[in-house]
Amino acid sequence: MLVGKIADQLGNQMFTYASLKTIARDRKEDFYFIRAHNDRINDSDKRYGNEIHTMFPNIQGEFLEELPKEVTHTYHEPPIVERKTNYQKEALQVPENTLMLGHFISCQYFVHRIQEVWDWFAFPEDVEVQVQEEFQKLCKDYPDRLLVSVHFRVGEDYVRQGFRIRDAYWLKAAEYLMQKSEKKPLFLVFYDKKAKIVEKFTNTYECVVCRGSLLHDLCMMSKCEKQIISNSSFAIMSAVLNQRENVEIIRPSVYPVGQYFQPQDCFMESWTIIEAHQSIRSKGKYWWMRAKGRLLKLIRNR
């Protein structure tokens, strides 16, 4: 038996589940998961909440309220500063009855079971029906357009932690599609905060703002013919769930995590790379918060 400890927001939860369940399946072992204390939630679905076991009906039976007594081993994913890849081969070789701790944000863990991942994260029927109807209406209203989802992760929590990338990424990604696509793109816009880059983008290109509930947005993005994703595990998972045969996923060249960067294997190898850089404001705020924290610690310890 392998047990995963699911932590943080939806995208991270989904990565942990998909990666660890794949490891368990490959080892022909049972898989279950428990929930860590949830203190990093910035969005929630009004009906389905913000937990994978309340959102995706096919995995509800694997959620445990507490750790089974027979689980006597623990594996800790190495911290980002200590690893060159997110994919850790040693995670595949842990003893039986192990509690797995970490986010495991690498598509390499589960790419060979991608169709099973689609089944694990099948959306609730009412969400699927609503999104299909909405998408078909867009296809009818814009019959000659290429429907492209664009996800912006630009909220203050991303700035504070040093995660935000510079605005130029989204503009370069849009221009790339404008130049190469036979059909003119219509950009379906999703965002966590209506920041200046969102307003600039919608004023520059023909867009439809499709922002809705958490599950709605995840489902809607996964239906599009092409996707421009942000450096967000939520956006990455929307692309992972896209089942279109010839879909093109545009992703940033970097995934900043504070002063560090997620290794490149958090993305699929086949996705198109557009140059991106960590935002100066985000980087500056991150370093200021770290310096302030160290100063306060010194004062307390005097």
The pLDDT confidence band at residue 155, using thresholds 50, 70 and 90, is confident
Q: Residue 214 and residue 50: Cα distance in Å, rounded?
A: 8
pLDDT value of residue 156: 82
The pLDDT confidence band at residue 190, using thresholds 50, 70 and 90, is very high
Q: Residue 289 and residue 20: Cα distance in Å, rounded?
A: 33
* 3 state SS of 222: coil
Q: For the segment 283-302, what is each residue's pLDDT rounded down to a tens digit?
A: 555 455 455 555 655 666 65
The pLDDT confidence band at residue 208, using thresholds 50, 70 and 90, is very high
58, pLDDT greater than 90: yes
pLDDT value of residue 113: 98
pLDDT value of residue 284: 53
47, pLDDT greater than 60: yes
Q: For the segment 84-111, what is each residue's pLDDT rounded down to a tens digit?
A: 999 999 999 999 999 999 999 999 999 9
pLDDT value of residue 161: 79
270, pLDDT greater than 90: yes
60, pLDDT greater than 90: yes
pLDDT value of residue 281: 60
Work out the mean pLDDT of the chain and round it to a whole number.
91
pLDDT value of residue 297: 52
* 3 state SS of 33: strand
Residue 183 structure tokens: 């059909």
Q: Show the 3-state SS of 79-140.
A: CHHHCCCCCCHHHHHCCCCEEEECCCCCHHHCHHHHHHHHHHCCCCHHHHHHHHHHHHHHHH
pLDDT value of residue 145: 96
pLDDT value of residue 36: 84
pLDDT value of residue 219: 97
215, pLDDT greater than 70: yes
Give the domains, in start order, of the chain with CATH numbers. 2-118 (no CATH), 125-286 (3.40.50)
pLDDT value of residue 38: 66
150, pLDDT greater than 60: yes
**Whole-number percent of the chain with pLDDT over 90:** 76
* 3 state SS of 36: coil
Please state which of the ranges 67-81, 132-146, 177-191, 248-262 shows the lowest mean pLDDT: 248-262
